[in-house]
Homo-oligomer: A and B are copies of this chain.
């Protein structure tokens, strides 16, 4: 694809007023009055996040990973996912990835590599997710936060991927992360030291 032209880098929306309508420790809702790209008046409510979303896929020497189950309040249902957490904007999301991995699964990772960034819901929010692969793992005790009531399950990567493909796992970070891991494994694009374990874990 050719690079963006100067016209494409210019914001075609004009903001005529901006007001914070709601705020809590995790997000802020900002109501904008705007002129849309056609020059007509309108409104735009934007949800701005104080944290980056962080996801991490741990892989052990046998090609197993860990899934975390929890009741997701906004969805009003249960959800199985890769370990995830929030990194305050301005901090290193890799630190959050390591910390969440320990809290939720008890795993300490000697190797961690960012392999995916996502804009989760770009019609309305500025929420960005960073996703990591973690390997060379040491097992310890998990330390869940009290707001969380988590189940943790060690499964082969093949099972995790099948749960994506059969529609059981629907969390966007988990779906994109597990699919990307599969495509990178098939492309020979994984770091040595991880590639063999992933190949073992994905074999049918």
From A45, A84, A122, A147, residue with most partner B Cβ within 10 Å: A122
Whether A123 contacts B53 in the complex (CB less than 8 A), given A42-B147, A118-B175, comes out as: yes
Whether A22 contacts B22 in the complex (CB less than 8 A), given A72-B123, A118-B175, A121-B127, comes out as: yes
**How distant is A53 from chain B, measured CB to nearest CB, in Å?**
7
CB-defined contacts of A106 to chain B, threshold 8 Å: none
Measured CA separation A163–B186 after assembly (Å): 17
Within 8 A of B (CB), among A7-49: 8-13, 21-22, 24, 26-27, 29, 31-32, 34, 36-38, 40, 42-49
Determine which of B53, B124, B189 lies in contact with A47 in the assembled complex, contact meaning CB atoms within 8 Å. B124
Whether A71 contacts B8 in the complex (CB less than 8 A), given A79-B119, A121-B53, comes out as: yes
Query: What 1/0 flags go to A100-112 for Cβ under 8 Å of B?
Result: 0000000000000
- Does A89 count as interface, using CB distance less than 8 angstroms? no
Measured CA separation A29–B76 after assembly (Å): 15
Copies of this protein in the complex:
2
- Does A182 count as interface, using CB distance less than 8 angstroms? yes
Smallest Cβ-Cβ distance to A120: which chain B residue? B121
Number of residues in A with C-beta < 8 Å to the partner?
A: 85
- Does A139 count as interface, using CB distance less than 8 angstroms? no
* B121 x A72 contact (CB < 8 A): no
User: Can you list 15 A-B contacts with CB-CB less than 8 angstroms, sorted by A residue number?
Assistant: A1-B67, A11-B73, A11-B76, A12-B71, A24-B31, A36-B146, A37-B146, A47-B47, A47-B125, A74-B122, A79-B119, A86-B123, A120-B121, A165-B183, A165-B184
